Structure formats: C-alpha cells, structure tokens
Amino acid sequence: MKHQRIIALAWKEWREIIRDRLFFALAFIVPTMLMLLFGFGLTLDVENLPFAVVDHDRSAASRDYTYRFISSRYFDFKGQAGDERQLDTLLADNRIRLALVIPPRFGERLARGEAAPVQVLIDGTFPMRAQTTQGYVAAINSAVSLDNMAGALSAGRGIPLAEAQARVQPVKLEVRYLYNQSVKSIWSLAPKLIMLIMMLSPPFLTALGVVREKESGSIFNIYSSTVSPGEFLIGKLAPYVAISFTNGLILWALAVGLYGTPFKGDPAFFALALLLYVVCTTGLGLVISMLVQTQVAAMIVASIVSIIPAVLYSGMLLPLSSLAPGASAIAHALPPMYFTNIVVGSFLKGVGWQALWADMLVLTAYAVGLFGLGYLLFSKRPSA
C-alpha cells in the first residue's frame, strides 16, 4: 500500500465529483432534496379531513351533533350542503373526503329516546385513510351517544352529571404512547428516511463513478499501472464514503432541526453506526459496478437492489412483524432492517450499544463482505 497513490486517486475523484454538474447534484443536492420531499410529502397522519354536512333536521340536536365534528382537530368543516347530490360532486372533486347526512326528525327521535340514524359517506380511494376516518367518526359518535345517555340519566335520576358519566362508562381507558408521545408520524418517519436515503444515494454515486471509468476507457489507466486493487478501491471509494457520511449527518440535523424529531441516543454511537452503514451501501455500489459495463445498467441495477429492500424490507412503512415469513426472511438478509433498528433506537428510544450491538455486528459483516466481494471481482486483467 502506497498512501501517495491512494491520495492521488482520492484527490482526482474528489475534483471530478465537484466539477461534474451531474455528480455534484447527485452527491450534495439529491439526498437533502429527498429528505425534504419525503418528509413533507409522505406524512401518514390523518388530520384536517375536509367534510360537509347535509342537515335535513335543522334542530338544536343536529347542530350540536355537527358541532362535535367541527370542533375536532381531525376534521375541517367545509360548510353545509343543500342536498345529497351536491355531496356527490364535492366528493368526486376531492373537495371533501367525508360527508354526514342527518335525516329529518333527528332531534325529535333522540328526545323521544329512539335510535336516530346518521349517514356517513367516506372517500374510500385510500383504504388506510378511510379506515382511520371511520374510526374517528365512530369515536365522536359514541362520545355523543354517551353524553346523551349520561345527560338523560342525570336528568332522570337526579344525580350529578359526573356520576352519571361514570355509570354510563364504568371502565375508562388511560392510554400513554411511549417513545412518540403525540404519535406524530414524522417522528417515526424522519429517522427512517435517513436509512432510506443512505441506502439509495451511496450505491448510485459509487456505481456510476466506477462504471463511467469503464465506459470511457480511463479504467485502463488503472489496469495498466502498478496500482494494486486495494489501493485503487480505497482511493476511489474514500471520497464517496466521506461525502455520504457527511450527507448522513446533514440528514440527522434536518430530522432533529427541521422536523423536530427528538434524538435521545448517544451521538457518538449513532455516528459510528452511520459510518458503518454508509460503508455497507458504498460496498453495494462497488459490487454493482463490478458486474455491469454501462452507466445505464448501473442505474437500473442500483435502483432495484437499493429501493426495494429499503422501502419494503426495512420496516419503514410496515412493521417487520407484519411481514409474511418469507418476506421476513428476506428482510433479515438485507442491511436496511438492521440500520432501521439503530435509527429508531437512537432517535426515539435512546438505546445504544447494549440493545443494538447485534445490529452493529451484522452491519460490520456486511461491510466486510461487500468490500471483499468487490475486491475479488475486480481484475486488472479482465477477459473482455
């Protein structure tokens, strides 16, 4: 190993990345941009659902009922509609996601102690959002029913309202969400986005960086010189690892600063884990670059082998426990899952070495394995 050669290679690579507009953007702009796009665009919270009401009753009771929805932070009241036909247009145009239709004599029936139906129309195009919406509606509706019942009980028996409420609902749930107290999806999403973006960007950069030398023919400068494969790989890849690691830190700062995600873990541990993960994903890019001959092929292969594991088999969108056994096995065979454990643990749970040493070990094995494979696949005297 001659460090002079390694430095020469790394220096050359760095200048090329800085000066080539495409590479510059890929290296320094795309990761941050992805963080912003996904962070603001991929929120899974169901809040401020626009809705409208058709009130055929126009009684105090129907106004009360409607008001319960209007005052909820989950709903955004868009106004009264004249009739059901108007609702169709509003739903079809995506101006509302939900509509309540209160029938005539709604108040009258309640007063008489009869059951009063209310029709709820929910936009079902996104099943998950529709189900959540239905849950909110059911919760508000049952709260209204309980209040009505308690009111009737208190008035009928002459007991205080609080006691009547306790009678009506003897068991009361006290829920506390751990690690993410207000169940904000961005708190959970932002750390996982670091995992996702650090899975996409380094393989792309690395694979393109190596393959473009193959495509242009400048790789022959390496082949025909006495640089050893080890020196070449270290010198060539060091800038990519350094750039990606820096990007990881920038994403960490965005998660904490911009999205307000709490970071409860050990920064030094997290930095080490990030470095390990970046070495892993750079190694993935290296292996891809050894197997393909053109930049187009490198891009296609890199996007397949990085996006799918990072999105589907990492625990980003779905918890791993909900995967089928086969899918779970795949998830365990790929690095993103392990780094997801580390980011979630470091950000939200505040755990470190003790809880996550096994994940660190697996990432280390990956880093060594991928670089080993890249080293073996690299030949200075190929047969084509």
Over the window 211 to 240, marking each residue x when it contacts another protein by CB under 8 A and - when it does not, the resulting string is: -----xxx-xxxxxxxx-------------
Q: Taking the complex as a whole, how short is the minimal distance between the CB of residue 12 and another protein, in angstroms?
A: 5
**Which has the closest alpha carbon to 204: 218, 196, 316?**
196
Q: Tell me which residue has tokens 């709820």.
A: 120
The stretch among 1-9, 48-56, 202-210, 296-304 that binds another protein (CB under 8 A) is 1-9
Q: Tell me how far, at minimum, the Cβ of 98 lies from another protein, in Å.
A: 54
Residues 64, 151: Cα–Cα separation, whole Å: 14
Task: Please say which residue, 14 or 38, places its beta carbon nearer to another protein.
Answer: 14
Q: How far is the CB of 214 from another protein (least distance, A)?
A: 11
Among 182, 321, 322, 383, binds another protein (CB under 8 A): 383
Size of the residue set binding another protein (CB under 8 A): 29
First to last CA, the chain: 27
Q: Which of 4, 321, 322, 354 binds another protein (CB under 8 A)?
A: 4
Quote the least distance from Cβ 261 to another protein, whole Å: 38
Q: Which residue pairs, CB below 8 angstroms and at least 24 apart, start in 269-274?
A: 269/346, 269/352, 269/353, 269/356, 270/342, 270/343, 270/346, 272/360, 273/339, 273/342, 273/346, 273/356, 273/359, 273/360, 273/363, 274/194, 274/198, 274/245, 274/248, 274/249
Nearer to another protein, 67 or 220 (CB): 220
Q: Which stretch binds another protein (CB under 8 A): 102-110, 174-182, 188-196, 374-382?
A: 374-382
61 binds another protein (CB under 8 A): no
* H-only helix segments in the chain: 3-19, 21-24, 30-41, 60-70, 84-92, 106-111, 127-157, 161-168, 185-216, 219-223, 229-257, 267-291, 295-312, 325-333, 335-344, 353-377
3-state secondary structure of 316: coil
The verdict on 1 binding another protein (CB under 8 A) reads no
Q: Toward another protein, which CB reaches closer, 142 or 224?
A: 224
User: Cα(276)–Cα(297) distance, rounded to whole angstroms?
Assistant: 26
Site membership for another protein, residue 319 (CB under 8 A): no
Site for another protein in 6-25 (CB under 8 A): 7-9, 11-12, 15-16, 19-20
In angstroms, the CA 139 to CA 142 distance is 5
Q: Which residues bind another protein (CB under 8 A)?
A: 2, 4-5, 7-9, 11-12, 15-16, 19-20, 216-218, 220-227, 379-384
